[in-house]
């Protein structure tokens, strides 16, 4: 009897043809994700509040997968529903969601305004919850399941002395949102996982990569806690994201994956 042709294990990592929504697409992590997934043939819906930046990112992408843009932020239930509806209208389905939108406001708790605290919670946890609600209504109503990836931080596990009393709790909530929905949706084949990076290069952190005295001191203090001995680049997260959005992680759900060079191991 002839043996069936061997299938490469790499075939399980394919995302070619999959419809994937990215919120916060013009940010450092979102744009790196868009470049990687586009190169692998995913059908992307890029979501953000700045039309010019969205158009520039879409024009930059030259991979085989098509690209749609939606100028919205997931601020309300209507926004979240419209984002998912746009992807379904364009591609007929949504197989994956990356929620890469969020914000931070740094201040001592004794000086932080309540509205600034609320803004962080709204962007980080409420926005994630709204996008999960909208995509869940779609994915739970179809055969084939799906994959949702939320973005947290090492600060969802660790405190910070420099005024992170809004940010850290919001990211801890994202971690538990991912675990809760993994339990709630597992029977339908919808997986939910969380990526939790430490400092990576972005508009907000670019100063830490410079060579002036303040940046050097801050960077060296961070590197003392990172066994791999460097700060991260947005591209460092592409491999983990591809894994979580593909069938290679078909038995992985409810996990918080720390992309931190070993920071949380110390």
The CATH number assigned to the domain holding 48 equals: 3.40.50.720
User: Are residues 151 and 214 part of one domain?
Assistant: no
Answer yes or no: is 119 within a domain.
yes
The pLDDT of residue 84 is 98
Answer yes or no: is 7 within a domain.
no
pLDDT band at 148 (very low <50, low <70, confident <90, very high): very high
Answer yes or no: is 128 within a domain.
yes
Task: Note whether 187 and 14 are within 8 A (CB).
Answer: no
Pick the residue with more confidence: 173 or 215? 173
Q: Measuring CA to CA, which residue among 202, 147, 155, 262 is closest to residue 29?
A: 202
User: Are residues 214 and 138 part of one domain?
Assistant: no
Answer yes or no: is 9 within a domain.
no
Say how many C-beta atoms besides its own lie within 10 A of residue 207's C-beta.
Answer: 12
Q: What are residue 97's DSSP bridge partners? A: 21, 148
Beta strand 96-99 with 43-48 is unpaired
User: Are residues 217 and 171 part of one domain?
Assistant: no
Q: What residues make up the domain containing 217? A: 204-231
Beta strand 96-99 with 19-23 is parallel
User: Are residues 254 and 157 part of one domain?
Assistant: yes
Domains contained in the chain, number: 2
d(C-alpha 95, C-alpha 211), whole Å: 43
The pLDDT of residue 39 is 97
Residues near 236 by beta carbon (within 8 Å), at least 6 away in sequence: 200, 259
SS3 label, residue 179: helix
User: Are residues 211 and 126 part of one domain?
Assistant: no
DSSP 124: I
User: Are residues 165 and 58 part of one domain?
Assistant: yes
User: Are residues 125 and 64 part of one domain?
Assistant: yes
Query: How does pLDDT run across 114-138, given as a tens digit for each residue?
Result: 999 999 999 999 999 999 999 999 9
The pLDDT of residue 142 is 86
Which of 91, 164, 167, 243 does the annotation list as catalytic? 167
pTM of the model: 0.94
User: Are residues 209 and 146 part of one domain?
Assistant: no
Q: Where is average pLDDT lowest: 1-10, 54-63, 204-213?
A: 1-10
The pLDDT of residue 85 is 98
CA distances from 200 to 46, 209, 222 (A): 21, 10, 11
Active site residue 167: yes
d(C-alpha 175, C-alpha 184), whole Å: 14
The pLDDT of residue 4 is 58
Answer yes or no: is 151 within a domain.
yes
What letters, b where the CB count within 10 A reaches 16 and e where it falls short, cover 134-163?
A: bbbebbeeeeebbbbbbbbbbbbbbeeeeb
User: Are residues 125 and 218 part of one domain?
Assistant: no
Answer yes or no: is 264 within a domain.
no
User: Are residues 161 and 72 part of one domain?
Assistant: yes
């Amino acid at each position: 009897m002839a043996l069936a042709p061997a299938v490469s294990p790499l075939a399980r990592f394919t995302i070619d043809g999959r419809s994937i929504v990215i919120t916060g697409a013009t940010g450092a992590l979102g744009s790196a994700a868009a470049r990687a997934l586009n190169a692998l043939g995913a059908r992307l819906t890029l979501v953000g509040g700045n039309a010019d930046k969205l158009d520039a990112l879409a024009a930059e992408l030259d991979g085989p997968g098509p690209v749609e843009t939606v100028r919205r932020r997931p601020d309300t239930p209507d926004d979240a529903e419209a984002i998912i509806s746009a992807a379904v209208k364009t591609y007929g389905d949504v197989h994956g969601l990356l929620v890469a939108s969020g914000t931070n406001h740094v201040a001592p708790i004794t000086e932080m305004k309540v509205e600034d605290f609320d803004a962080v919670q709204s962007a980080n946890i409420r926005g994630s919850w709204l996008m999960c609600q909208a995509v869940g209504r779609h994915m739970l109503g179809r055969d084939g399941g799906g994959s949702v990836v939320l973005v947290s931080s090492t600060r969802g596990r660790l405190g910070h002395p420099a005024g992170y009393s809004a940010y850290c709790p919001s990211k801890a909530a994202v971690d538990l949102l991912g675990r809760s929905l993994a339990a709630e949706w597992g029977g339908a084949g919808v997986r939910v996982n969380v990526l939790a990076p430490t400092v990576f290069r972005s508009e907000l952190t670019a100063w830490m990569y410079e060579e002036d005295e303040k940046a050097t001191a801050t960077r060296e203090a961070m590197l003392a806690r990172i066994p791999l001995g460097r700060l991260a680049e947005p591209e460092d997260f592409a491999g983990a994201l591809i894994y979580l959005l593909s069938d290679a992680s078909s038995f992985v759900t409810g996990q918080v994956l720390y992309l931190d060079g070993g920071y949380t191991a110390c």
